[in-house]
Copies of this chain bind each other. A is one copy, B any other.
Amino acid sequence: MTITIIGTGLIGGSMALALKKKGFVQHVIGVDANKIHEQKALELKLVDEILPLEDAVKKSDIVVLAIPVSACVTLLPQVLDYVDNQVVIDAGSTKSGLLDAVKDHPKRKRYVPTHPMWGTEFSGPEAALEDAFAGKATVICSKEDCDEEAVKLVEELYRALSMYLVYMNAQDHDVHVAYISHISHITSFALANTVLEKEREEDAIFELASAGFESTVRLAKSNPDMWVPIFRQNRENVLDVLNEHITQLRKFKMCLEKENYDYLRELIENANKIKKVLNRK
């Protein structure tokens, strides 16, 4: 099986490494708008060859778009234009906008919208990891709108990565990721800015940064090229969650202002319930 990876960065590169290691694909073609990334991907053996987009698609069984969601909206219809019988997937963090962009495309049924729920705060070919994805979820959206045999191949691909599959429609997906991924990134960016703003004159502070701080600001290292398009595409859901989050923070503020420590305890006890949610996974 031959696969084309469009976007030879963290996600595309890691997927290429894992699929080859598992024997799911024998040949990997790389396509990247960034020529330096293409060369780096060849050097790191993430891909076997670099081809122009059309040649790559024609030569492949599967095409994976692993690029920022804004670029995906533009490129996906073009990729489908080149498709004969290939299966196309994306790995984007938002889905509704993408599905709108191809809803009337004659090859729509060859495209299976997917979201493998794995990533790190790093990006680019050098960030690719061989043993990524295992044990994590992949969302497959609106599979009833895809060719059955295309969905089957995609399910096999993600099972080869040892991922488990979750099915939902694009709208539900976009709401859920706003809660469990996008808001975490916003709070982390905002927390980093809070600390940088207030502590700019201070060095001592950073010697103290504890493990708790590092885990909450880790995501603040994430790349704006990826995240601005995600927030833009999922704007309404993210705003909804962000408003709720600010409301929740204001409750803590109110407790401190009014010195209502009983209510503060209640808020923390409620937050503790996240334990059983995380343990259920």
Is the Cβ of B189 less than 8 Å from the Cβ of A187? no
Interface-lining segment among A5-13, A42-50, A106-114, A201-209 = A201-209
* Other-chain residue from B205, B270, B272, B281 in contact with A179 (beta carbon distance below 8 A): B205
- The answer to the question of A238 belonging to the interface, with a C-beta cut-off of 8 Å to chain B, is yes
Interface string of A240-281 (1 = CB under 8 A from B): 011111101111110011010100110111111111011011
Known contacts A166-B208, A216-B187, A271-B220: does B245 contact A231 (CB below 8 Å)?
Answer: no
Whether A256 pairs with B274 at a CB distance below 8 angstroms is no
- Report the copy number of this chain in the oligomer: 2
Inter-chain CA distance A206–B176, complex, in Å, is 9
Q: For residues 178 through 213 of chain A, which have their beta carbon under 8 Å from a beta carbon of chain B?
A: 179-181, 183-199, 202, 204-213
Which A residues are within 8 Å of any B CB, using their own CB? 117-120, 136-137, 139, 164, 166, 168, 172, 176-177, 179-181, 183-199, 202, 204-224, 227-228, 231-232, 235, 238-239, 241-246, 248-253, 256-257, 259, 261, 264-265, 267-275, 277-278, 280-281
